[in-house]
């Protein structure tokens, strides 16, 4: 049994983590006492897929809302409810007197998390489109999903521990490390709306959570034996963490410290190279055969069969490996083959067998007895775009001189369990040791529980951007362009100057503070607003440079002393090095300190 090296720093009785993934989501929890006996004594929920008799630790990230936009179901249940409604809608033999639900009026959201990825325009009004083309505000959709997972989690705990309340639970929500600050605040807002108190809530970065989990997990050593990963990585050793989920690839480099903590050497990078890309490639394959228009018609008219195709593809995708089979066989629904037969595909009417034979895949695919036979070589090509993107990104890091010494690569996340992916990475990076822990798909989820118990397990991070504010220094015609010259009162100032707090690539410890004092000059004001900017350059000159973007507006309330003519001075402090950017403010005239609000998502709705 693994022994904990630290006491839990969580003041709550339980830590519960919600891993909100692009393709699958789940939750896990552990008690404070259990953690201190065995950090890996973590309970994860079991989801029942119903008719398929499949039990898994995660459920599909699918949400079904009623026509009035209220919650109906989530996960496997949402999949089944929606396909059943779609099936009833297509069933001409059903009882006419029985009122059937019009499934087109329901909202079915599937794999909607990617709306937050690299979305510079993300706000409270951002919308997400469901599978039938209808849209709702994304904040409502995410709130419903998180609330369901939170309530399901709480019910599980309450069944085992009587008298438990939400105040007894520290909730941890996972997010990709490559997400920007706006997306993180969006998830925090959705969690708050879902009924999670901000005082009992934190965000865990996915590759950090996985890396922390693996410290306590056994891995195969070079001599074939099992050993705790934290014992194989000595102080000063660096290793790459490759977190491959359904939507994104999160890649970073961690270094083991003498006190057992982890230091980030590389700010997380990556992109949309997750397992969803394999599904997208398969969809494009079908569209190449029958045409995009026919595929869209099939989706809208036969939604139940459309969902079933991708359910079966998910099963085949997980089972396929190199050299074990000559072909992959998939059942094509009669509704699809009839649609092709009765419609014009690529300008002429043909049977499904004809369009397969006449497609660009004619030599690799054939159709017989309602089954599509796909050659192994053709099927594995569905994986190429994602795998090529992952390997190219890994190599771009490992070829840098400051990371060339990295020998160990830790692969986690659900997509890391793919044998085709594993083999291609091992064949390409032959000089590196590839470590894939057992339950790689649960490493983020269970690691997030550990993050709740040991919030300071990451002792250093790398700034992903240069952060600063807008300033108005005295104008200097030697350095400042004439276009930026403005007169403020009796002073000649330079507008829009970027006042840097920290710079991109800078090492910061959790809680690193940078402060600036501002004066409130307008007597009628009772708040002070300051705009915070982020830049992809090390030394931006002005806040309107192409590399800069407005991160958010810092709003600081204050109380002006009665009958005082003295300008109010506010010290504003940005706190870096944590999973989220935090802000504090201090009224220097009264000494009052408080949390300030950094609005990253625009106006309230």
Residue 328: domain span: 276-382
Name the residue with tokens 């397990």. 457
pLDDT > 60? residue 9: yes
- 229-238: long-range contacts, CB 8 A cutoff, minimum separation 24: 229/410, 229/435, 229/437, 230/256, 230/260, 232/408, 233/408, 237/408, 238/265, 238/403, 238/405, 238/406
Please give the residue that has the higher pLDDT: either 272 or 518.
272
pLDDT > 60? residue 118: yes
- Closest alpha carbon to 18 in 141, 196, 273, 239: 196
pLDDT band at residue 521, thresholds of 50, 70 and 90?
low
Q: What are phi and psi of 372, to 5 degrees?
A: -100, 120
User: Is 406 a domain residue?
Assistant: no
What is the pLDDT at residue 120? 82
pTM across the whole model: 0.89
Residue 433 burial by CB count (10 A; 0-12/13-18/19+): exposed, middle or buried? middle
User: Is 399 a domain residue?
Assistant: no
pLDDT band at residue 56, thresholds of 50, 70 and 90?
confident
User: Is 526 a domain residue?
Assistant: yes
Q: For the chain, what percent of residues have pLDDT higher than 70?
A: 90
What is the pLDDT at residue 3? 44
Name the residue with tokens 């396929």. 320
Decide: 327 and 373 in contact? Cβ < 8 Å: yes
What's 502's domain CATH number? 2.60.34.10
Candidate from 47-51, 126-130, 198-202, 282-286 with smallest mean pLDDT = 47-51
pLDDT > 90? residue 595: no
Report d(CA 141, CA 487) in Å as an integer: 48
Q: What are phi and psi of 379, to 5 degrees?
A: -65, -45
Mean pLDDT across the chain, nearest whole number?
88
What is the pLDDT at residue 584? 86
Candidate from 121-125, 409-413, 501-505, 559-563 with smallest mean pLDDT = 559-563
Which residues have CB under 8 Å from 431's CB, separation 6+? 407
pLDDT in tens, 235-261: 788 999 999 999 999 999 999 998 889
Which residues have CB under 8 Å from 272's CB, separation 6+? 114, 117, 118, 247, 248, 249
DSSP letter for each residue of 522-536: -TT-SEEEEEEEEES
What is the pLDDT at residue 442? 94
Q: Are residues 508 and 525 in the same domain?
A: yes
Q: Are residues 448 and 504 in the same domain?
A: no
The domain boundary residue, chosen from 333, 351, 382 = 382
User: Is 255 a domain residue?
Assistant: no
Q: Are residues 204 and 286 in the same domain?
A: no
pLDDT in tens, 65-85: 999 999 999 999 999 999 888
What is the pLDDT at residue 345? 58
DSSP letter for each residue of 216-236: TSEEE-TTS-EEEHHHHS-TT
pLDDT > 90? residue 287: yes
pLDDT > 90? residue 438: no
Q: Are residues 572 and 519 in the same domain?
A: yes
Angle at 189 between CA 187 and CA 191, to 5 degrees: 70
Structure tokens at 275: 């397992």
- Closest alpha carbon to 60 in 237, 276, 225: 276
Among 97-101, 189-193, 532-536, 561-565, top mean pLDDT goes to: 189-193
Report d(CA 421, CA 12) in Å as an integer: 40
pLDDT > 90? residue 232: no
User: Is 7 a domain residue?
Assistant: no
Inter-CA distances, 278 with 120, 275, 284, 365, 375, Å: 25, 5, 10, 18, 16
Report d(CA 191, CA 170) in Å as an integer: 13
Q: Are residues 108 and 92 in the same domain?
A: yes
pLDDT band at residue 605, thresholds of 50, 70 and 90?
very low
Q: Are residues 113 and 64 in the same domain?
A: yes
The three-class DSSP label of residue 2 is coil
What is the pLDDT at residue 221? 60
pLDDT band at residue 350, thresholds of 50, 70 and 90?
confident
pLDDT in tens, 357-381: 999 999 999 999 999 999 999 999 9
Report d(CA 310, CA 286) in Å as an integer: 11
DSSP 323: T
Inter-CA distances, 211 with 67, 171, 263, 335, 552, Å: 42, 19, 11, 46, 31
The domain boundary residue, chosen from 382, 401, 423 = 382
What's 78's domain CATH number? 3.30.420.40
User: Is 395 a domain residue?
Assistant: no
Q: Are residues 373 and 492 in the same domain?
A: no
Decide: 264 and 289 in contact? Cβ < 8 Å: no
Helices (H), 256-404: 276-290, 292-301, 303-319, 334-342, 352-357, 376-380, 384-398
Element (H, E) at 213: helix 206-215
Inter-CA distances, 393 with 23, 249, 261, 427, 541, Å: 22, 9, 26, 16, 30
pLDDT > 70? residue 224: no
User: Is 417 a domain residue?
Assistant: no
User: Is 296 a domain residue?
Assistant: yes
What is the pLDDT at residue 596? 73
Q: Are residues 369 and 303 in the same domain?
A: yes
Please give the residue that has the higher pLDDT: either 203 or 491.
203
Q: Are residues 186 and 118 in the same domain?
A: yes
What is the pLDDT at residue 183? 94
pLDDT > 80? residue 6: no
pLDDT > 50? residue 234: yes
Q: Are residues 76 and 183 in the same domain?
A: yes
pLDDT in tens, 451-510: 999 999 999 999 999 999 888 889 999 999 999 999 987 889 999 999 999 999 999 999
The domain boundary residue, chosen from 359, 382, 405 = 382
Residue 374 burial by CB count (10 A; 0-12/13-18/19+): exposed, middle or buried? buried
What is the pLDDT at residue 119? 86
Q: Are residues 475 and 453 in the same domain?
A: no
Q: Are residues 177 and 193 in the same domain?
A: yes
Domain count for the chain: 3
> Mean per-residue pLDDT for 551-564?
75
Q: What are phi and psi of 552, to 5 degrees?
A: 175, 175
Candidate from 44-53, 238-247, 267-276 with smallest mean pLDDT = 44-53
């Amino acid at each position: 049994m693994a022994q904990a090296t630290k006491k839990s720093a969580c003041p709550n009785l339980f830590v519960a983590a919600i891993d909100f993934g692009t393709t699958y989501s789940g939750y896990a929890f552990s008690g404070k006492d259990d953690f201190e006996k065995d950090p890996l004594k973590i309970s994860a929920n079991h989801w029942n897929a119903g008719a398929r008799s499949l039990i898994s630790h995660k459920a599909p990230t699918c949400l079904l809302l009623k026509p009035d936009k209220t919650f109906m179901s989530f996960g496997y249940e949402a999949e089944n409810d929606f396909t059943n409604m779609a099936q009833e809608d297509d069933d001409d033999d059903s009882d006419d007197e029985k009122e059937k639900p019009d499934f087109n009026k329901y909202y079915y959201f599937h794999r909607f998390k990617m709306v937050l990825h690299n979305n510079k325009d993300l706000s409270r009004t951002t919308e997400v489109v469901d599978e039938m083309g209808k849209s709702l505000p994304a904040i409502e959709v995410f709130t419903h999903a998180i609330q369901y997972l939170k309530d399901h989690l709480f019910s599980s705990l309450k069944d085992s521990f009587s008298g438990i309340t939400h105040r007894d639970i520290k909730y941890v929500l996972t997010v990709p490390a490559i997400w920007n600050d706006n997306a993180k605040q969006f998830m925090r807002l959705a969690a708050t709306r879902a009924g999670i108190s901000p005082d009992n809530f934190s965000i865990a970065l996915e590759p950090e959570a996985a890396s922390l989990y693996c410290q306590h997990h056994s891995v195969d050593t070079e001599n074939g034996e099992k050993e705790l990963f934290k014992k194989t990585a000595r102080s000063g050793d660096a290793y790459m963490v490759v977190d491959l989920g359904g939507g994104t690839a999160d890649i970073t480099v961690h270094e083991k410290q003498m006190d057992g903590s982890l230091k980030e050497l590389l700010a997380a990078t990556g992109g949309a190279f997750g397992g969803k890309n394999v599904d997208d490639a398969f969809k494009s394959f079908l569209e190449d055969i029958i045409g995009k228009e026919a595929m869209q018609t099939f989706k809208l008219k036969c939604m139940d069969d459309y969902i079933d195709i991708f359910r079966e593809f998910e099963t085949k995708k997980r089972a396929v490996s190199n050299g074990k089979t000559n072909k992959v066989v998939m059942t094509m629904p009669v509704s699809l083959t009839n649609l092709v037969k009765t419609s014009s595909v690529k300008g002429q009417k043909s049977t499904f067998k004809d369009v397969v034979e006449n497609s660009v895949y004619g030599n690799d695919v054939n159709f017989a007895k309602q089954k599509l036979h796909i050659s192994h070589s053709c099927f594995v090509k569905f994986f190429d775009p994602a795998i090529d993107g992952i390997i190219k990104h890994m190599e771009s890091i490992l070829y840098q001189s400051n990371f060339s010494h990295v020998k160990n690569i830790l692969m986690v996340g659900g997509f890391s369990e793919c044998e085709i992916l594993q083999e291609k990475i091992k064949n390409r990076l032959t000089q590196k040791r590839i470590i894939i822990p057992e339950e790689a798909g649960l490493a983020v989820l269970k690691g997030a529980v550990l993050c709740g118990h040991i919030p300071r397990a990451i002792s250093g991070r790398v700034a992903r951007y240069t952060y600063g504010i807008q300033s108005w220094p005295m104008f200097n015609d030697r350095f400042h362009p004439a276009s930026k010259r403005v007169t403020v009162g009796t002073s000649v100032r330079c507008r829009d100057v970027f006042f840097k707090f920290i710079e991109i690539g800078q090492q910061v410890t959790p809680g690193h503070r940078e402060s600036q004092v501002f004066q409130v000059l307008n007597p009628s004001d009772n708040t002070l607003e300051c705009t915070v900017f982020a830049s992809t350059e090390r030394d931006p000159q002005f806040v309107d440079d192409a590399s800069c973007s407005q991160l958010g507006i810092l709003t600081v309330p204050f109380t002006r002393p009665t009958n005082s003519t003295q300008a109010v001075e506010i010290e504003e402090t940005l706190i870096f090095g944590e999973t989220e950017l935090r802000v504090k403010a201090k009224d220097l005239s009264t000494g009052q300190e408080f949390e300030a609000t950094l609005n990253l998502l625009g106006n309230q709705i």
